[in-house]
């Protein structure tokens, strides 16, 4: 049987939404899949060497569990985003959830191919020197070259 293939497009750059691409990619690789992730728009934030800048916002996210119910307007107060971010980080640590850096490192070890979208790198003026090593640059056609033969394709 041929190796199965998983193609992922990662478009989000928040602390919470950074998880699905790396969890699925690392697990698929452990199951023997060949995996490629195409990072575009805000997903490019996930490629930076230091991921300490990633945040999670309760603003516009009524589904986010809060310790006490809060009116939507309170979410715009200064410090709310920082509070939500540190709350999520400490909860993840307490529950034995891997850090994004750790999951990404496991993806790198498992030879998950990572491609940064050239157009959005240019658009947002990202410096590719800030990215981890081993990142390739490519466009939509480069994504389809792999995704066209993939068994599973996910847009996250």
Partner 1 sequence: MVQEDKVLDARGLNCPLPILRTKKALGELNSGQVLKVVATDPGAVKDFEAFSKQTKNPLLEQAEAGGEFVFFIQKA
Residue numbers of the site for partner 1 (CB under 8 A)? 23, 26-27, 30-32, 95-98, 103, 106
CA distance 122 to 126: 7
CA 43 from centre of chain:
6
Q: 129: which DSSP letter?
A: G
Which is nearer to partner 1, 24 or 44 (by Cβ)? Answer: 24
Which is nearer to partner 1, 112 or 117 (by Cβ)? Answer: 112
Pairing mode, strands 152-155 and 5-10: parallel
In whole angstroms, the minimum distance from the beta carbon of 26 to partner 1 comes to 6
In whole angstroms, the minimum distance from the beta carbon of 8 to partner 1 comes to 14
116 strand-pairing partners: 39, 137
In whole angstroms, the minimum distance from the beta carbon of 34 to partner 1 comes to 14
């Amino acid at each position: 049987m041929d190796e199965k293939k998983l193609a992922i497009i990662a478009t989000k750059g928040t602390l919470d939404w950074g998880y699905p691409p790396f969890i699925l990619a690392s697990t698929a690789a452990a199951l023997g899949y060949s995996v490629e992730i195409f990072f575009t728009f805000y997903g490019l934030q996930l490629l930076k060497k230091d991921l300490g800048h990633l945040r999670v916002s309760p603003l516009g996210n009524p589904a986010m569990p809060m310790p006490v119910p809060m009116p939507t307007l309170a979410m715009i107060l200064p410090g709310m985003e920082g509070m939500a971010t540190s709350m999520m980080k400490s909860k993840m640590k307490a529950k034995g959830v891997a850090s994004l850096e750790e999951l990404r490192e496991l993806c790198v070890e498992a030879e998950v191919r990572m491609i940064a979208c050239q157009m959005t790198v240019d658009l947002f003026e990202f410096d590719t020197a800030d990215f981890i090593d081993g990142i390739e640059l490519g466009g939509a056609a480069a994504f389809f070259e792999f995704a066209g033969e993939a068994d599973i394709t996910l847009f996250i």
